[in-house]
Amino acid sequence: MDWTHVHLLLNHFPTVGMIVALGVFLYGLAVNSDEVKRISLVAFFFIALLSIPTFVTGTAAELALSKTPEVSVTRVQAHETAAFIALWFMELTGAVSWLGLWQYRRLSRMPQATLIVVLLAGLASFGMMARASNLGGEIRHPEIRSGPKVADPPVDAAAAANAKEPLARVIGDAMVNVTWTWAASETVHFIGLSLLFGVVLLVDLRMLGFVKGIPYTVLHRLLPWGLLGFGLNVITGMLFFVGAPIGFYVTNNLFFWKMALILVAGANALYFTAFDQPWTLEAGDAPPLAAKFAAASGIALWLGVLFCGQMLPFFGHSF
């Protein structure tokens, strides 16, 4: 199995998953059930997380197919640009969905404005992901193409070289060639990392039984700062990725471990907002076993993410 298999495995989640999540969300609105709405917000958040490795493994698939003459570079690039745009709408949907879950805890209701943004961003993400997926399908399936349903002619190297640069590559070139972009993104990446890991440590240490004097409801106020840090790191991390996807990242297995750990760590962080258990912790209360387990694994997972990121230059020879 290689990363192309993983791309083929993941790439229906952002479309099929969104049909299910949007259906549950609309049902929740129709029956006015906060529980059903919360389930759909959790699903949106998961799909936003899954869309990151879907995008990254797509680039690995592109590399694997780059020597296959019957695969049209133009089609792959059109698919890549559509996926790149869709990814940002999906991440926005995931972030606002998380905010809705957090607001529900703080206010005991979901503000109308949040639900409207989730609906609009969710519909836009679905439309764009569906378009990206359709273009992805057309790479290998002439039968679903809107024009003549025939296989592409073998790729002409000169035409491939003159093909329009995909959006991700244009931004990636700016990351590499404009002097300050990489350094500025590194700075923001480290600020994001500090925000994220700082909040993770505070919340998780409380859940492990330290600083028992602080009730969980107080620590919960810090969570949006952690999400802000995570968001900054997703944005800058993707900018690094499109800057040098092949040289630095998709050829290094440690990078895929980092992606996998981010996925599980992101899901782990959801426990502290979506589940009721942490909310029972008043000042002085000892945390339940499940909360301790979630906290210990949260710290270990985020440390794993930091380790994999930090070690990229040393294992696999990135940079």
- Interacting residue ranges for ligand HEM, rule: CB under 6 A: 4, 7-8, 11, 14, 51, 54-55, 58-59, 61-62, 65, 76, 79-80, 83, 87, 129, 132-133, 136-137, 139-141
The residue written with tokens 């790191």 in the block is 233
Are 217 and 24 within 8 A, CB to CB? no
Residue 245 beta carbon to ligand HEM: minimum distance, rounded to whole angstroms: 8
Residue 249 beta carbon to ligand HEM: minimum distance, rounded to whole angstroms: 12
Question: Alpha-carbon distance 98 to 43, whole Å?
Answer: 10
Residue type, 246: I
The one-character DSSP state at 250 is I
Residue 1 beta carbon to ligand HEM: minimum distance, rounded to whole angstroms: 13
Helices (H), 208-288: 216-220, 223-243, 253-274
Question: Alpha-carbon distance 45 to 262, whole Å?
Answer: 13
Residue 244 beta carbon to ligand HEM: minimum distance, rounded to whole angstroms: 14
Residue 136 beta carbon to ligand HEM: minimum distance, rounded to whole angstroms: 3
Question: Alpha-carbon distance 37 to 29, whole Å?
Answer: 7
Residue 137 or 316 with smaller CB distance to ligand HEM: 137
Calculate the alpha carbon distances from 206 to 211, 260, 284, 296 in Å.
Answer: 6, 26, 10, 11
Residue 102 or 249 with smaller CB distance to ligand HEM: 249
Q: Of 255, 71, 232, 239, give the one whose Cα is nearest residue 169.
A: 239
Residue 153 or 313 with smaller CB distance to ligand HEM: 153
Residue 82 or 281 with smaller CB distance to ligand HEM: 82
Residue 83 or 281 with smaller CB distance to ligand HEM: 83
